[in-house]
Amino acid sequence: MEIWINPACSKCRSALSLLDAEQADYTVRRYLEDVPGEDEIRAVLERLNLEPWDITRTQEAVAKELGLKEWPRDAGARDRWITALAEHPKLIQRPIIAADDGTAVVARTEEAVREALARGKS
């Protein structure tokens, strides 16, 4: 499995601690340094079964600068949102765990991390 993290994020550190405690086999991706492209974002959205606005941190300063809260949340605006996430990775909700079974979760809670772990064991 792969986990997208920001090392400064407490929820990311908590997720890593739990993965380590469970002796999980995972790869860390510091997505602010190793920025995912639009195709990677589309792929993770498919795995999450979410839309780009569902994983956007709308409280970030850049989100306010871009006026994201006013952007439409529909199929016609989807690519615009994905481009914004690729150009401003700080907007991507974290951590995201891509499980070995092809799914993914936004792992902001212990329960979500455990769900990803369970998916990896099946």
7/52 Cα distance (integer angstroms): 22
For the question of residue 9 being annotated catalytic, the response is yes
CA distance between the termini of the chain? 13
Instruction: Identify the helix (H) or strand (E) that includes residue 18.
Output: helix 10-21
* Catalytic residue selected from 9, 32, 43, 62: 9
From 14, 55, 7, select the one nearest 31 (Cα to Cα): 7
112/104 Cα distance (integer angstroms): 10
Catalytic residue annotation: 9
